[in-house]
Structure 1
Amino acid sequence: MDTTQHPNTTLPGHAPLPFDATLLFKALQYQLLVAVEHCYDLAPDECLWLEVLGDVTVPGKSQTEVKHYTDNLTDSHANFWNTLKNWLHENFDRTSFKSLVLLTTQEFGAQTLLKGWNTATPAERLSIMESIVASSQASAGNKAKKESEAGEVISKPSKSQSLQQYVMTLDRRGALMEVLERMHITTGAESLEQRLKTYETRHLKPIRPSKYQQFIYELLGFMCSPELVIKGWKITHQAFTDKLSELTHRYMKHPKTFPPVDMAALKKSVDVEEIRPMPFAQKITEIGGEQYLKRAALHRVVAQTTISDLYTDGVLFKPMVDLYLSNHLTQHQYGRDAAMLGCTGVTCSTQLSTRSMMFFLERNGLPAEPFCGLEHTMPEFRNGIYHMLAGEKPEDEDDEFHWRLW
C-alpha cells in the first residue's frame, strides 16, 4: 500500500504538517476497497490476505500491490522498482501465483518505456528494464563526471538507482524472470472517491440510498476489524459473505427487520423545556408523569425519524403509516374505555391520577405490534406512535388521544 504525495486540500492558512497521517488513512481505505472487490470474486474455498504477503493477496491466484498516487508512473518511479524488489524477496513464493499486479491510480508518463508492458513478452520486458537502467546509469555517470570536474563530492546513487541495481543483479535474474512472466501493470485506477461511487453503483442497488455510507463504513470496518488483524488479517469467503448478508438484511430497500436506531444520538437532541408546551407532553404532565417526559420525547423522535427515513428511501407509503396509526388509536381507545370502567365511583383526583399513570405505564410496556410487517419492531417506536397520536387534534374530539382516565 502506498499513498499520494500531496493532499488535495489543507487547512486554510496552514501548510501540511510532517506528522499529518491523513493520507496514510486514505491509502488504507483505498487498499480496503480494492480488497473488497477481490472478496466478491472469491470462490467458496478461497480466502484473501491483507498485508501479510503484500497489499492484497489471494493465495494461489494473485498478489496485488496497491498504489494511491497522483504523479505519473515514469521509468524510474520507485513504485515500479520497489514493487519488483518486494516480489524478488527470497521468502516470497512467486511461482505460487498466476498473476502479480501493480495497481496504481497513476497514469503512464508521456515518455516512459513502460507503456507497452502488458503486451510485451517476459524477454521484451527485461529488455525494457535494461534500456531504462542503461539510460539511468549514463545520466548518473555524466552527473558524477561533472561533479568530479567541479571538485564537488560525487553524489550517492538515488533511491531509484539503488532499487534498479538491486532488481537487475544477475544473481536474481532467474527470480526476476519468474516475476516478469506473471506481472501486469494496471494504471489509471479509479481514485478513492471514484471507487466509492463505483461500488455504490455496482453493489448497492438493493440497499436504501440513505444507508449507502453506513453500509460502506461497516463493511470497511469489518475488513480491518481487530479480530481479523490479530488472527493474521485473513478474510475467508464465508466470513465476507456472512458480513454482506448481515448488512444487506439490515439496510435492504424492503427490510424484513426493524431498522437500527442510534438512540444515543437522538437522546442528545431532546430538550424537555422545548417539548413541555406540546399537547403530547401536557397530556403526560396532567396525570403526574413529569418524570417520563424526557423518555416520551425520545420515543417520539425515534418514531418520527424512523418513519421519515423509510419514507425517504421509498420503503413506506402514507396509507401504510396511516393504517398503523389508526390501529393503535383504536386499540388505545378500547383500552382506555376499559380502564375508565374500572374507575367507576372513584372521585379522588389523586387516585384517578395514580390509575392513569398505571394505565400509561401498562400501555407503554406492552409488546410492540410489527410496524408494516417489520420483525423486532422496537417498543420505543410504538410508544413514540402513542405520543405522535397524543399530539394530534382530530376533527371529532371523541377521537382525541388521552392518558387520563376521567
Structure 2
Amino acid sequence: MDTTQSLNARLPGATPLPFDATLLFKALQYQLLVAVEYCYDLAPDESLWLEVMGDVTVPGKTQTEVKLYSDNLTDSHANFWNTLKNWLHENFDRTSFKTLVLLTTQEFGAQTLLKGWNAASAAERLSIMERIVAGSQATADNQASNEPEVEEDAAKPSKSQKLQQYVMDPKRRDALMEVLERMQITTGAESLEQRLKGYETRHLKPIRPSKYKTFIDELLGFMCSPDLVINGWQITYQAFTDKLSELTHRYMKHPKTFPSVDMAALKKSIDIEEIRPMRFAQKILEIGGEQQLKRAALHRVVAQTTISDLYTDGVLFKPMVDLYLSNQLTQHQYGRELAMVDCAGVTCSTELSTRSLKFFLMRNGLPADSFCGLEHTMPEFRNGIYHMLAGEQPEDEDDEFHWRLW
C-alpha cells in the first residue's frame, strides 16, 4: 500500500517535513477499510491476508493492490507498471487467483490508452502495453535528438522505462500473459473520507449513531492487532464474524447489555474542588465521607454520561429513566428507615456519622438492579443514580435523598 496524496492538503502555513509519516498511516487505514469490505464477502472456509501476498488477498479468489493517490493514472504511471512487476515475481502464484485487481483512487488520465483495459482481452491488453512502451521510447529518442549536449544521459533509460522493460521482457512473456488474463483496474475508488462515510451508511444502521466512530476505530484496531500481525496477518471468516458480533452487541441501537464506559477518561474530568460545594457532595461530607467523594463524583458522571448517550441515540425515553430513579429512591428510603431503627437511642454524633458511613458503603456495594432491561448494569452507574438523586431538591422534603441516619 502506498500513497502520494497532495502535500498541500496540510495545516495552513505548515511546511511538510521529510520524516512526516502521516500519509503512510492514512494509506494503511485506507487499506484496512478495503480489507474490511472484502471480509464481509468471505465464505465460512475462507480467510483474508494482509501484506503477505500483496496488499489485500483472498487466497484462491482475489489479490488486490490498493493505491491511495491524488494524481491521474497515466500510461507510464508507476502504480500500473510496478503492480505488474509485483505480480511477475517468480514466487508469486498468480495462477491461483481468479482476479488480480489494481484498485486506485486515481482517475484515468485524459489521453491514457488504459481506459478500455477491463473490456479488452489479454492479447489486446498486451498490445496496449506495447503501444505505450513504443510511445515512451519514441519520446525519449526525440528528446535525445533535440538535446545533443545531454545525449549520453538521455540515452540512459529512465526509471519508468526500466520498469517497462522489466515487465515487457520476452523471457517473462508467459507469466505476463497469465497476469493479463486476470487483471482488472478499478479507478476512481472512494477516498478515505468517502469510504468511511460509505461504511457507516452500508453497515452501521443497527448501531447507535454516537458510537459510529468507536465501532469503526475498534474494528480497524482489530484488523491490525499485534496478535494478527505477529501470526501472519491472516483474518479468518470466524474471527471477523466474532468481532462484528461483539461490536454490534455492544453498540446496537437497542442493546441488551449495559454499554461500556471509559472510566479512565471520565475520571480525568473530576475536579474535587468544583464538586465539593454541590448538594450531593455535601451529603457525603456530613457523614465523614471525604475519602469517598472523588469516587462518588466519578459514579455520578458515569450515570449522567450513560443516560445522555442513550437519550441521544434514541434508546431511552424519559418515562423509563424516571421509573428507574423512582424505584431506586423508594428502595433507598426503606433501607435508610431500617438503618435508622437500629440507631434508635444513639445520641453520639460520632457514632451516628460512623453508622451513616457504613450505611453509605453498604448501599453502594449492593448488586445493581437492571437499568431498563440492560444486562450487567454497572454498580457504578446505579451508585451514580444515588448521587444524582442526592443532588435534587424535591418539593416534598420527605422525598429527599439522604445518607445520614438522623
Q: TM-score range, shorter-chain basis?
A: over 0.9
Q: Which residue of 1 aligns with 2:157?
A: 157
1:91 CA drift (Å): 0.7
> What residue identity is the alignment partner of 2:194?
Q
After alignment, is 154-163 or 120-129 more displaced? 154-163
CA shift digits 1:69-114 (9 cap, x unpaired): 0000000000000000001111111110000000000000000000
Q: How far apart are 1:145 and its partner, in Å?
A: 2.6
- Over residues 344-387 of structure 1, what are the superposed CA-to-partner deviations in whole Å (9 max), with x where a residue is unaligned? 11111111111111111100110111111111111111100000
1:343 equivalent to 2:333? Answer no
Aligned equivalent of 2:276: 276
Preserved CA contact (<8 Å) 1:283 1:403: yes
Residue 235 of structure 1 and its aligned partner are, at CA, apart by 0.5
2:144·2:150 contact (CA, 8 Å) conserved in 1?
no
Q: Separation in 2 of the partners of 1:84 and 1:325?
A: 66
Conservation of the 8 A alpha-carbon contact between 1:64 and 1:100: yes
Which runs of structure 2 are paired with 1:257-272 in the superposition (5 Å)? Answer: 257-272=257-272
Per-residue CA deviations over 1:250-273 (Å, capped at 9, x if unaligned) read: 111111111111111111111111
Give the aligned length: 405
| Mapped partners of 1:327, 1:314: distance in 2 | 22
1:390 is matched with: 390
Question: Counterparts of 2:274 and 2:219 in 1: how far apart (Å)?
Answer: 38
The answer for the alignment partner of 1:208 in structure 2 is 208
In the alignment, is the contact (CA less than 8 A) between 2:64 and 2:101 conserved in 1?
A: yes
User: Deviation of residue 141 (structure 1)?
Assistant: 1.3
C-alpha separation between the residues in 2 aligned to 1:146 and 1:228?
56
The one-letter code matched in structure 2 to 1:392 is E
Displacement of 1:120 in angstroms is 0.6
What is residue 136 of structure 1 aligned with on the other side?
136
Residues 1:243 and 2:243 are matched in the alignment: yes
User: Could you tell me how far 1:151 is from its partner in structure 2?
Assistant: 5.5
- Aligned-partner Cα distance in 2 for 1:264–1:154: 63
Residue identity in the other structure for 1:18: P
Q: Percent identity?
A: 85
Q: Residue 260 of structure 1: SS of its match in structure 2?
A: coil
Aligned residue for 1:235, secondary structure, equals: strand
Counterpart residue identity of residue 50, structure 1? L
Cα deviations by residue, 1:12-43 (Å, 9 ceiling, x for unpaired): 33321111100000000000000000000000
**Which whole-Å CA distance do the structure 1 matches of 2:66 and 2:214 have between them?**
25
The amino acid of 2:70's aligned partner reads: T
Q: How many Å separate the matches in 2 of 1:8 and 1:152?
A: 35
Alpha-carbon offset, residue 144 of structure 1: 2.4
Please state whether the residue corresponding to 1:10 is helix, strand or coil. coil
Q: 1:124-174, CA deviations, whole angstroms, 9 ceiling, x for partnerless residues?
A: 111100000000011111222333x22654233222111110011111111
- Structure 1 residue runs of 5 or longer lacking an equivalent are none
Amino acid of the structure 2 residue aligned with 1:350: T
Q: Which residue of 1 aligns with 2:28?
A: 28
Given that residues 94 and 179 in structure 1 are in contact (C-alpha distance below 8 angstroms), is that contact kept between their aligned partners in structure 2?
yes
Q: Given the alignment of the two structures, is residue 305 of structure 1 paired with residue 305 of structure 2, yes or no?
A: yes
Are the equivalent residues in 1 in contact too, given 2:48–2:236 (CA < 8 A)?
Answer: yes
Provide, for residues 263-308 of structure 1, a one-character-per-residue CA deviation record: whole Å limited to 9, x for no partner: 1111111111111111111111111111111111111001000000
The one-letter code of the counterpart of 1:270 is I
| Corresponding position of 1:368 | 368
Instruction: Give the Cα separation in 1 of the matches to 2:359 and 2:270.
Output: 25
CA contact (8 A) 2:287 2:357 kept: yes
Distance 2:286 2:15 in 1: 60
Output the CA distance in 2 between the equivalents of 1:394 and 1:255: 32
**What residue number does 1:354 align with?**
354
Inter-partner Cα distance in structure 2 for 1:35 and 1:5: 20
The residue aligned with 1:7 is 7
Q: Match for 2:96: what amino acid?
A: S
Residues 166-181 of structure 1 aligned to structure 2 (within 5 Å): 166-181=166-181
Query: Equivalent residue for 1:217?
Result: 217
User: How well do the aligned residues superpose, as a CA RMSD in angstroms?
Assistant: 1.0
1:68 aligns with 2:50: no
- In the alignment, which residue of structure 2 is the partner of 1:316? 316
Opposite residue 242 of structure 1, the aligned amino acid is: D
Whole-angstrom CA distance in 1 between matches of 2:188 and 2:315: 38
TM-score, normalising length from structure 2? Answer: 0.98
Asked if the contact 1:353/1:404 (under 8 Å) is kept, the reply is yes
| In structure 2, distance between residues paired with 1:278 and 1:47 | 56
Question: What secondary structure does 1:150 align onto?
Answer: helix
Distance in 2 between the 1:281 and 1:76 partners? Answer: 71
Q: Is the 8 A contact 1:44 1:238 kept in 2?
A: yes
Equivalent position amino acid for 1:85 in 2:
K
| Residue matched to 2:58 | 58
Q: Contact 2:144 / 2:151 at 8 angstroms: preserved in 1?
A: no
In structure 2, what is the Cα distance between the partners aligned to 1:151 and 1:65?
37
Alignment-derived partner of residue 252 in structure 1: 252
Kept in 2: contact 1:78–1:159 (CA 8 A) = no
For structure 2, the residue ranges without an aligned partner over 5 or more in a row are: none
Query: Any conservation in 2 of the 1:88–1:167 contact (CA below 8 Å)?
Result: yes
